[in-house]
Amino acid sequence: MLQVNGLSRNFVDKKRGIVKAVDNVSFSVAKGEIFGLLGPNGAGKSTTLRLVSTMLKPSSGTAIINGFDIATHPAEVRRQIGFLTGDMGLYARQTPRETLMFFGRLAEVPELQLSQRTDDLLRRLDMLDFADTRCDKLSSGMKQKTAIARTLIHDPPMLILDEPTATLDLPTARVIEASILEAKRAGKCIVYSTHIMEEAEYLCDRIGVINHGQLKISGTMDELRAITGKQRLREVFLELLELPSAA
Amino acid sequence: MKLNVILTVFRKEILDLLRDRRTLLSMVVLPIVVFPLLFSVMGKFMGEAGKKAESEATTVAIVADQIPSGFNSAIARSGLSIVVVQDVASAVESKKAATGLTVSPDGKLAKVYSEGTRQSSGIAADKLRTALNDYRDAMILEKLKSVQLDASALKPFTVKRENVASERRMGGSMLGSILGYIVILLMFSGGMYPAIDMAAGEKERRTLEALLASPANRTDIVLGKILACVAATYSTALLTTASLFLSLKQGVVDMQGAEKLMGNVPTDPQTMVLMLLTLVPIAVMAGSLMLSIALLARSFKEAQSYLTPLVMLVIFPSLLGGLPGMELTPTLSLIPIFNTSQLLKNILQGDVPVLSFAITNLANIGYAVICFLLAVRSFNNENVLFRT
């Protein structure tokens, strides 16, 4: 479903010169699988996900999503993806329903299908009570539901979630986690970045640890334990951050 | 390029703008009320100041027993009432009297005093001078008669100045000089908030990523935004122009003394159409330019601090274009903003220099295209979008 091959991205910084934000990262994720991208702040998680979702262009390497290459078919790639971050905002003067219709139209979902899917999402996420209230009047939980619904409106086979719970309180974070597990059951391919180890351990089938732009290692929890000889993810994580280069 | 995507973005942005009180204020309310307000305040002040001056221009200061008796009848004819003082000049200066009169002992020099900054003093002095002139003319006639000469001997011919500018041109000249820069200024300020809202606002509210992650093409998204921003800018121009013409039509009736300022204002459809056509490329230019600049900013505040100086900058060439005596030559037609305020003036005067009209609009279309492409490019530049 998702195949990332040697993806790299350099930035030019005035003080530091060329910075390798993402350095030769490769991994793959299958349908119905949750892949966790674990790393400290500034490790290159967000940049990797932005590269995969074609918001940024790679310096070298590529990624193929559902058969579409990010370099040659960016629009098709984006159609395969639902993208969500924890600090994403909503248009304050639009209602959740209008937001869903707007993003559905951007994805060129046929009108009839779009209104059906909007109603369906509003019902499934229990949003009917506030579907026609302007977003600036909503609570943070309601906003988060709206953001999730927006991510799902074009029914993408793949979800890219960049620290989706980072700024949320526990109950709201639970809403997100529940939606992620439901999406997994529906057979979606999910990439999930976080710096919280417990979250990764709880949600993800496989985990990749990233630091200084390099993917240090990836595998299931059991594989990670076997390689590092540590039991808890916290220890595995700290151990891996010490590793000199990609495994 | 997908038209339905562009229109989706356009409609959403317009809806967003119409729901924003801040934008509505600068885009709709201000252009509509500014002229009626300006004219009614101006009219009221001009009318009242005139009335007040008229009612105060009633007194003339003299020193007792210094005025030959013939002059007294002249004063009486002027309608001014006499105030007897010690010192005429200081009496006029200290507002004890509107004007003053002294006559030299030999009766050869009559001095009329006025205080130049007071309208009432000027009016009174004029009345007095006219009365004294009449008195002098009467004396001359008297003397001529006594030597049996005809009065025409003194005036072999008369000189009269004739203003060949049509009334429309006079009105247009006054009107054009203010209209040019007020319309352009309001256009920029009307498009400013929409531009900030749909560019820097996306970053500040953290909605940009979701938009960029949508399957829509970036060029389509920015085209929708440019279109919305230009529509906002142009509708400000439309409202400003409409409000101006309407309040002028109304104002001339309501305002005393305003006829002189406004003249016979051309409000025929042809003039309006020419004006509105001229404003189209400027709206495209203003909308796209402000959007490109607002895209650079990370927040509302930052965008505001970039765009406010731009609006100020726009005032200079348009003010310059409004100065009397400025002519729109083909070379000057290449200067953006200046050329437009100048052309607006010409259009309102009813004679449009064809060559300058063509050059101005072609040049403006060129600038509009450049700004348009700049906005499209900025939106496709990840350094601009993800500036940190």
Tell me which chain B residues have a C-beta less than 8 angstroms from the C-beta of A88.
Answer: 206-207, 209-210
Residue B39 sits in the same domain as residue B126: no
Closest CB to B5 among A90, A106, A154:
A106
Residue where a domain stops, chosen among B97, B114, B149: B149
Task: Give the model confidence (pLDDT) of B240-266 as tens digits.
Answer: 888 877 877 765 555 554 555 555 556
Q: Taking CB atoms and an 8 Å limit, are B20 and A93 in contact across chains?
A: yes
Contact A211, A21 (CB under 8 A): no
* pLDDT at position B388: 63
- Pairing, β A17-29 against β B99-103: unpaired
* B64: containing domain: 56-149
Interface test with A, best of B4, B8, B214 (most A CBs within 10 A): B214
Residue A207 within a domain: yes
Write the DSSP string, B67-124.
Answer: S-HHHHHHHHHHTPEEEEES-HHHHHHTTSSSEEEEE-TTS--EEEE--TT-HHHHHH
Closest CB to A88 among B19, B209, B215:
B209
Residue B210 sits in the same domain as residue B94: no
Residue B366 sits in the same domain as residue B269: yes
Residue A8 within a domain: yes
Percent of chain B with pLDDT over 70: 90
Tell me which chain B residues have a C-beta less than 8 angstroms from the C-beta of A87.
Answer: 206
Count CB pairs under 8 A between chains A and B. 75
* pLDDT at position A231: 77
Query: What is the C-alpha to C-alpha distance for residues B4 and B296, in angstroms, rounded to an integer?
Result: 27
Q: Taking CB atoms and an 8 Å limit, are A103 and B5 in contact across chains?
A: no
Q: Which residues of B touch A (CB under 8 A)?
A: 2, 4-5, 8-9, 12, 15-16, 19-20, 205-207, 209-217, 221, 382, 385-386
Q: Which residue of B has its CA nearest to A87?
A: B206
Long-range (24+ apart) CB contacts under 8 A made by A175-178 are A175/A141, A175/A144, A175/A145, A175/A148, A176/A144, A176/A148, A177/A202, A177/A203
Query: What is the C-alpha to C-alpha distance for residues A70 and A58, in angstroms, rounded to an integer?
Result: 9
Which amino acid appears at position B101 of this protein?
Answer: L
Residue B338 sits in the same domain as residue B306: yes
pTM to 2 decimal places = 0.82
Query: What is the C-alpha to C-alpha distance for residues A240 and B267, in angstroms, rounded to an integer?
Result: 78
Please check the confidence at residue A48 and state whether its pLDDT lies above 90: yes
- CA-based max dimension of chain B: 105
Residue B155 within a domain: no
For A119, residues 6+ apart whose C-beta sits below 8 A from its C-beta are none
Residue where a domain stops, chosen among B88, B119, B149: B149
Please check the confidence at residue A238 and state whether its pLDDT lies above 90: no
Sheet holding A68-69, edge to edge: A17-29, A2-13, A60-65, A68-69
Residue A200 within a domain: yes
Residue A126 within a domain: no
Residue B81 sits in the same domain as residue B224: no
B226: closest CA of chain A, how far (Å): 16
> How many domains does chain B divide into?
2
* pLDDT at position B148: 80
Q: Taking CB atoms and an 8 Å limit, are B4 and A108 in contact across chains?
A: yes
Query: What is the C-alpha to C-alpha distance for residues B137 and A72, in angstroms, rounded to an integer?
Result: 97
CA angle B342, B346, B348 (to 5 degrees): 115
Residue A133 within a domain: no
Task: Give the model confidence (pLDDT) of B220-243 as tens digits.
Answer: 999 999 999 999 999 998 998 888
A241: closest CA of chain B, how far (Å): 26
Query: What is the C-alpha to C-alpha distance for residues B299 and B203, in angstroms, rounded to an integer?
Result: 7
CATH of the domain at A80: 3.40.50.300
Contact A32, A189 (CB under 8 A): yes
Residue B321 sits in the same domain as residue B188: yes
> How many domains does chain A divide into?
1
Output the average pLDDT for chain B: 84
Write the DSSP string, B252-314.
Answer: HHH-TTHHHHH-S----HHHHHHHHHHHHHHHHHHHHHHHHHHHH-SSHHHHHHHHHHHHHHH
Closest CB to A106 among B8, B16, B205:
B8
Interface test with B, best of A13, A66, A79, A91 (most B CBs within 10 A): A91
Contact B332, B167 (CB under 8 A): no
CATH of the domain at B114: 3.40.190
* A8: containing domain: 2-14+30-89+158-240
Sheet holding B59-63, edge to edge: B81-85, B59-63, B99-103, B110-113
Q: Taking CB atoms and an 8 Å limit, are B206 and A87 in contact across chains?
A: yes
Query: What is the C-alpha to C-alpha distance for residues B6 and A68, in angstroms, rounded to an integer?
Result: 24
Query: What is the C-alpha to C-alpha distance for residues B150 and B144, in angstroms, rounded to an integer?
Result: 7
Residue B61 sits in the same domain as residue B11: no
Query: What is the C-alpha to C-alpha distance for residues B150 and A47, in angstroms, rounded to an integer?
Result: 103
Residue B80 sits in the same domain as residue B142: yes
Please check the confidence at residue B352 and state whether its pLDDT lies above 90: no
Dihedrals phi, psi of A208, to nearest 5 degrees: -115, 135
Residue B64 sits in the same domain as residue B127: yes
- A159: which strand partners? A82, A190
Average pLDDT (B70-91) is: 85
Residue B156 within a domain: no
Average pLDDT (A225-232) is: 80
B186: closest CA of chain A, how far (Å): 25
Q: Which residue of A has its CA nearest to B379?
A: A55
Q: Choose from A7-11, A163-167, B76-80 the range with maximum mean pLDDT.
A: A7-11
Contact B348, B266 (CB under 8 A): yes
Task: Give the model confidence (pLDDT) of A153-167 as tens digits.
Answer: 999 999 999 988 877
